[in-house]
Chain A
Amino acid sequence: MNVPRTALLALCVASAACTPPEDRDAGSANALRGLTLTEPQQKPDFTLTDTDGEDFAFARETSGFLTLVFFGYTYCPDICPVHMANLGAVIGQLPPSTARRIKVVFVTTDPQRDTPARLRTWLDNFSRDFIGLTGEHDRVNEVQASMSLPPSEIGEPDSTGFYYVGHAAFIVAFTPDNLARAFYPSGIRQADWAHDIPLLLQFE
């Protein structure tokens, strides 16, 4: 459990409940290095558009899979590519039979610039198996709220029209039993994922 205390406190604001690391036991979900939810949350049901331009019914398409969801944008220079690159590196090292049980879903908080084609190109740098979703900004914010995440905010454009987007810093982990059990903040390392993924897969 290597996450900064400030990130944990921020998460406690965002989520219904969470367990401080010092209160954890070894074993079961408490052994996770991610931030464990004391009350697992139901996987929400929503439909957004995937990188082929097709409807993607999230609950149906990801049912039974370890589903790792992140909200970000492709022009994001710091947190988003670090999260995606770390997942790509760790999942790429897993045996294919294990990797097939995981779905990584990246939902853009910048639908204006992140076209399905741009999302696909960007995600392919990390893994061709990663799923990219887009939709109306307000709709995406509703989906974030359904996962206890704060809404994203489009920043003011600079003189060249470039802008940043504020977004949640956490990856939400839904275990194969379709419950959100842990959040992974910025700063989580590849070793933490390698440690937690086999544990997350045990919740069937």
Chain B
Amino acid sequence: MVARPNPGREPGVKGDGRAESYSRDQTPDVSPGFRRWCALMGAMLVAVPAACRGESSVTVGPIEVSNAYLAEPVTPDSPVAVYFTVTNRGTEVDTLVGISATFATHGEFHEQVTEGGGTRMRPVDAVELPVGGKVVLAPGGLHGMLLDVSSPPKHSEPVVVALHFWRAGTVDVRFAVVTYANLEEYAGRPR
């Protein structure tokens, strides 16, 4: 994984409600009642049905996005941490250049940098995706961030987040919304 830090970077790409481009394995829209049922089942620690989760994987050109989940913010004005895995199955290097959502004003990528026992966030301008490579965004490391959130995501209610790739273009991905207490389960999931 190559990530280029740029402390003086511009804010990320704004969300603009573009047309959705789900792959054929997208999950169907669900009713509020079904979402409540999902929440109940989740609370009972029964295996959460697929429709409550994000998509298993989405492709845009040769780019595959999988294990897409984000953290339900603790307070409504907190940034939203976003995690996913990107695989480049193409023959050219691509670059992840932006993240956006209709519920947030701007998006960024950050690395969690640990030095001398301290940790801090370092903005990352873009994330390079080598040919055949897999980049994992996960808690405690590289992750996406959505800021100035207008309607905070709620756990068990998937949300759509757009990922912007330099070559492959934009793909809307359905993200599972996970409480912080359940993050480690998703972070440890095989990708």
A contacts, CB < 8 Å to B: 6-7, 10-11, 13-15, 74-75, 77-79, 81-82, 84-86, 88-89, 118, 121-122, 125, 148-153, 155-156, 158-160, 162, 164-170, 186-187, 189-190
Contacts and interface: CB of A to CB of B under 8 A. Distances in A.
Interface stretch (B22-30, B56-64, B92-100, B138-146): B138-146
Given A81-B180, A187-B140, A158 B11 contact: yes
Contacts of A11: 117
B181 A78 contact: no
Contacts of B139: 78-79, 82, 186
Given A14-B116, A81-B180, A148-B117, 17 more contacts: A10-B116, A78-B140, A79-B119, A82-B180, A86-B184, A122-B74, A125-B74, A149-B118, A150-B116, A151-B118, A159-B11, A160-B105, A160-B147, A166-B121, A168-B117, A170-B117, A187-B140
A168 B117 CA distance: 6
Contacts of B188: 189
Nearest to A164: B121
Given A6-B114, A186-B140, A166 B75 contact: no
A77 B118 contact: no
Contact of A78 (B81, B105, B147): B81
B168 interface: no
B112 interface: yes
A10 B180 CA distance: 25
A74 B75 contact: yes
B153 interface: no
A160 B181 contact: no
Contact of B114 (A10, A84, A156, A160): A10
Nearest to A160: B148
A95 B188 CA distance: 27
A180 to B, nearest CB: 14
B103 to A, nearest CB: 15
B6 interface: no
Given A77-B71, A81-B71, A167 B120 contact: yes
The 10 A-B residue pairs with the shortest CB-CB distance, nearest first, are A14-B117, A166-B120, A85-B180, A150-B118, A169-B119, A85-B181, A77-B81, A77-B79, A89-B181, A81-B180
A78 B74 CA distance: 11
A111 B184 CA distance: 29
B54 interface: no
Most chain A CB inside 10 Å of its own CB: which residue of B116, B180, B183 = B180
A108 to B, nearest CB: 13
Contacts of B183: 82, 85
A85 B179 contact: yes
Given A78-B139, A186-B140, A168 B75 contact: no
Most chain B CB inside 10 Å of its own CB: which residue of A10, A82, A122, A148 = A82
13 contacts: A77-B79, A77-B145, A118-B75, A150-B117, A159-B11, A162-B147, A164-B120, A164-B121, A167-B119, A168-B118, A186-B114, A186-B139, A187-B140
A190 B184 contact: yes
A116 to B, nearest CB: 15
Contacts of A186: 112, 114, 119, 139-140
Interface string B90-128: 000000000000000100001010111111110000000
B150 interface: no
B158 interface: no
Contacts of B118: 14, 149-153, 166-169
A86 B184 CA distance: 9
Contacts of B73: 77
